[in-house]
Structure 1
Amino acid sequence: MQPLLLNRSWFLKLLCFFSLAMSGLTASAIELTGITNSHDPSTLIREDDTYFHFTTGEGLWYSTSTNLTHWENPNTVFGDSWPNWINDAVPGFEGEFWAPDVIQIGNYYYLYYSVSTFGTSESAIGVVRTPSLKNPTWEDLGMVVQSYGGVNEINAIDPAVFRDHDGRVYMSYGSWFGGLGVAEVDQATGKLAGPVTHIYGGGHDSIEAPYITRNGDYYYLFFTRGTCCQGADSTYRVQVARSQSVFGPYTGERNLLPNEDGHRKGPGHIGVLKQDGCNYVSTHYYDLSDNGTAKLDIQMMTYLNGWPSMTHNFDTIVQCGGVTEGMYSFTSRHSGKALEVAYASTDNGANIVQYDYFGGLHQNWYVIDQGTGNYSLINAGSLKSMDVWEASTSAGANIAQWDYWGGAGQRWSLNPVGNYVEVQSDLSGHVLDVSGWSSENQANITQWHPTGGENQQWMMIRQ
């Protein structure tokens, strides 16, 4: 089956990359092969050895890759039918789903999608989830947000989701009509946790396809201006603005991707995959060398003087000296036991201990790249941050959980030691340590000066 597109539809390699990008030397761009047609691509996401690319199309279709470059195995989420609520929300809907985006929350992958008809704001965003993308069992959870056709409404299309440094998840969305909005997502339900805040655009200004990511102290709002869906005549271009709050105000709008770059025309719909310390950006473009066919593009993004910069000048998937964002368990090399929040507590100050791993959410941690060489470690059960108790710099201080506030006692480096890592506090320079070299369940985790001992080394296992 060929997918059907809507008409709206750790450091030498890094140094080499920067040398190419900064010196202006020419490197070959990566070549995407197989099923490369795409419009409004989702953020690329990986489960085990497989990447997934969801995109606009009939039945909410997607393709897969094992290397980010060759795409194959097209499939759909809904096939020829869809949830009944869609017919009530968008009368006349014919099965063409727009602009999906996907994120892992706990034990599920949540896929957000929009349903609408071209040129109107009578639209809705829904969400479907599955415990596995490789072997999916899709469960539709219904509507997330709706717009009713008003000229000044935030149009309920183009959802984009991301996880902030504190572990919270936000969804941005919108287009012409009322501009762009953002709201927090309730991670227990996949629905909105609070009101929608208008963040940019409006007045039927040409703007759509928002995507928010964070790097250091700034949130970056990417969006597309111009008109899509006209092949070689499309006027799409990608802009970016920034803010120190996810809710804005976003200022300093500037050009990021021009309307035309060689054979690429009308780029749109950014998503950012944070892998091995690199930022891989997916967009679509219209291929001037192939009759304006809409295709998937992958670029690498770095930050220069506080603003993102994009390049095609890399010819292989590289490691940039970091860890791929996602949900992980941390298992002690010494004891074989996992880091967990004691007794699955959700209280501030609850100790971090070791215990036999059995898959509880309190034994898993969201590893969130802050873009500064440090990571947040947010417990997947409590959504609280791993924290050095009372911001101590003393060896032997307890490691606990606490509401995220962004201090140095909640920032961590993940230093490779063969197949393991040392987890080092940005505050103290000490590393996580199984107290007294214990092999017992409930043994306390403290911080201690690095000794190279196996009780300070942890196997990170992607969940």
Structure 2
Amino acid sequence: MFSLLRSATAFLIATASLAQGYSNPGACSGACWAHDPSIIQRTSDNLYFKFNTGSGIEIATASSLSGPWTLTGYALPSGSKIDLAGNTDLWAPDVHKVGDLYYMYYAVSTSGSQTSAIGLATSSTMDVGSWTDLGATGVASSPSKVYNAIDPNLIAVGSSYYLNFGSFWHDIYQVQMSSDAKTPSGTSVNIEYDATGTHPCEGSYMFYYSGYYYLLWSHGICCGYDTTKPATGDEYKIMMCRSTSATGGFVDQSGVACTSSGGTTLLASHGTTYGPGVFTDSSKGLVLYYHYADTDVGLGDGSYLFGWNVLGWSNGWPTV
């Protein structure tokens, strides 16, 4: 499955120069604000949908990636039926087509809390007013767990579905889902772990391409750049590992296991892009997308922008 790679909850902050070789983000006009964006094209008419973290999950649409993006409303304007703090401020949407329906996974939590749950809503069109909240999937966490159940990401492997999730604590986990992808059917296993510091890994996204499953995730400090700027290199960046299996054995470009602090940087801060998924565009091919803070615009969460770049490939690894 490779229809959408959510930006490894990717934010990027630009402070360094473009000497690192990264391209500037693609053009964007209209409603270009973004936070943990999920991008998908509707199969019936190729209309682009952009879903954002916050409130009831903001929806914007456009006829092309560059816009103009138009705000249309919220997927779940009344919030989630999950009875946890944060259920009216939903995080990290992840949208895929499963059978004849569009599935939107989302997280309910509060900042710094491990009391979290992953919910699911469905729609036949993705339009505002069409979403039905199914509530909790059964993937949840509490202080007694080793992981934090936020930042969901679904991947189809043949006829099976797996949900990747996690943030800090013990980083990225995976659980097999039921045949309808609505509830867990197995035990959660660790697929990425950074043993250093506060284990600052979250926002994973997995996709299949040319014989490998690629695992992307965000590493570093995500937010609050306008009040406290992280040390250079500690801001959000997108990391990657790959494996011939979707369920484990991920290594970086140096062969270091992803569960042993391995990880190769795909996209980091550069130029005016500070603090960065991927989907297959109907006309452009493989596209990396993310939200980022432009130092010429502002570093606050309310200033984050939608960015995208067509991916290249080098020796079996994606490049920007």
| Alignment TM-score > 0.5, same fold | yes
Indicate the residue corresponding to 2:175 in structure 1.
183
CA distance in 1, matches of 2:66, 2:239: 25
Indicate the residue corresponding to 1:143 in structure 2.
136
Indicate the residue corresponding to 1:30 in structure 2.
26
Indicate the residue corresponding to 1:443 in structure 2.
none
Indicate the residue corresponding to 1:119 in structure 2.
112
CA distance in 2, matches of 1:242, 1:107: 30
Contact 1:286 1:294 in 2 (8 A): yes
Q: In the TM superposition, what is the alpha-carbon distance from 1:39 to its structure 2 partner?
A: 1.1
Picking from 54, 59, 64, the partner of 1:62 is 59
Aligned residues: 278
Contact 2:147 2:167 in 1 (8 A): yes
Secondary structure of the residue aligned to 1:54 is strand
CA distance in 2, matches of 1:216, 1:135: 35
Indicate the residue corresponding to 2:124 in structure 1.
131
CA distance in 1, matches of 2:308, 2:248: 28
Picking from 88, 93, 96, the partner of 2:86 is 93
Secondary structure of the residue aligned to 2:311 is strand
More strand by share: 1
CA 1:257–1:186 in structure 2 vs 1: closer, same or farther (change >3 Å)? same
CA 1:27–1:282 in structure 2 vs 1: closer, same or farther (change >3 Å)? closer
CA 1:176–1:115 in structure 2 vs 1: closer, same or farther (change >3 Å)? same
**Residue type of the alignment partner of 2:293:** Y
Indicate the residue corresponding to 1:244 in structure 2.
244
Indicate the residue corresponding to 1:226 in structure 2.
220
- The higher relative CO (CA closer than 8 Å, separation ≥ 6) is in 2
Contact 1:62 1:76 in 2 (8 A): yes
Q: In the TM superposition, what is the alpha-carbon distance from 1:109 to its structure 2 partner?
A: 0.4
CA 1:120–1:97 in structure 2 vs 1: closer, same or farther (change >3 Å)? same
Structural mapping, 1:393-432, within 5 Å: none
CA 1:39–1:175 in structure 2 vs 1: closer, same or farther (change >3 Å)? same
Structural mapping, 1:446-457, within 5 Å: none
More helix by share: 1
Q: In the TM superposition, what is the alpha-carbon distance from 1:291 to its structure 2 partner?
A: 1.3
Structure 2: runs of 5+ lacking an equivalent: 1-9, 12-20, 253-262
Q: In the TM superposition, what is the alpha-carbon distance from 1:276 to its structure 2 partner?
A: 4.5
Indicate the residue corresponding to 1:76 in structure 2.
74
Secondary structure of the residue aligned to 2:296 is helix
Query: Does 2:271 correspond to 1:262?
Result: yes
Q: In the TM superposition, what is the alpha-carbon distance from 1:189 to its structure 2 partner?
A: 5.2
CA distance in 2, matches of 1:277, 1:284: 19
Contact 1:116 1:157 in 2 (8 A): yes
Q: In the TM superposition, what is the alpha-carbon distance from 1:255 to its structure 2 partner?
A: 1.0
Contact 1:43 1:273 in 2 (8 A): no
Q: In the TM superposition, what is the alpha-carbon distance from 1:303 to its structure 2 partner?
A: 2.0
Indicate the residue corresponding to 1:353 in structure 2.
none
Indicate the residue corresponding to 1:272 in structure 2.
279
Q: In the TM superposition, what is the alpha-carbon distance from 1:160 to its structure 2 partner?
A: 1.2
Q: In the TM superposition, what is the alpha-carbon distance from 1:199 to its structure 2 partner?
A: 0.5
CA distance in 1, matches of 2:267, 2:121: 31
**Residue type of the alignment partner of 1:221:** L
CA distance in 2, matches of 1:115, 1:125: 6
Indicate the residue corresponding to 2:289 in structure 1.
282
Query: Does 2:153 correspond to 1:160?
Result: yes
Contact 1:180 1:210 in 2 (8 A): yes
Q: In the TM superposition, what is the alpha-carbon distance from 1:140 to its structure 2 partner?
A: 1.6
Q: In the TM superposition, what is the alpha-carbon distance from 1:271 to its structure 2 partner?
A: 3.5
Query: Does 2:166 correspond to 1:174?
Result: yes
Query: Does 2:38 correspond to 1:42?
Result: yes
Indicate the residue corresponding to 1:365 in structure 2.
none
Q: In the TM superposition, what is the alpha-carbon distance from 1:277 to its structure 2 partner?
A: 7.0
CA distance in 2, matches of 1:187, 1:135: 27
Contact 1:45 1:102 in 2 (8 A): no
CA distance in 2, matches of 1:281, 1:159: 18
CA distance in 1, matches of 2:51, 2:116: 19
- Give a deviation string over 1:139-193, Cα, whole Å, max 9, x none: 222212100123x5221100112333x2433221101012111123334252223
CA 1:187–1:299 in structure 2 vs 1: closer, same or farther (change >3 Å)? farther
CA distance in 2, matches of 1:163, 1:237: 25
Larger radius of gyration: 1
Contact 1:45 1:103 in 2 (8 A): no
**Residue type of the alignment partner of 1:72:** T
Query: Does 2:49 correspond to 1:52?
Result: yes
CA distance in 2, matches of 1:136, 1:49: 20
- Give a deviation string over 1:233-256, Cα, whole Å, max 9, x none: 251111101111111121122111
Q: In the TM superposition, what is the alpha-carbon distance from 1:127 to its structure 2 partner?
A: 0.2
Indicate the residue corresponding to 1:211 in structure 2.
205
CA distance in 1, matches of 2:98, 2:87: 30
CA distance in 2, matches of 1:109, 1:251: 31
CA 1:239–1:137 in structure 2 vs 1: closer, same or farther (change >3 Å)? same
CA 1:46–1:141 in structure 2 vs 1: closer, same or farther (change >3 Å)? same
CA distance in 1, matches of 2:284, 2:25: 19
Instruction: State the superposition RMSD in angstroms.
Output: 2.4
Q: In the TM superposition, what is the alpha-carbon distance from 1:196 to its structure 2 partner?
A: 1.9
Q: In the TM superposition, what is the alpha-carbon distance from 1:111 to its structure 2 partner?
A: 0.3
Length-normalised TM-score, structure 2: 0.80
**Residue type of the alignment partner of 2:274:** K
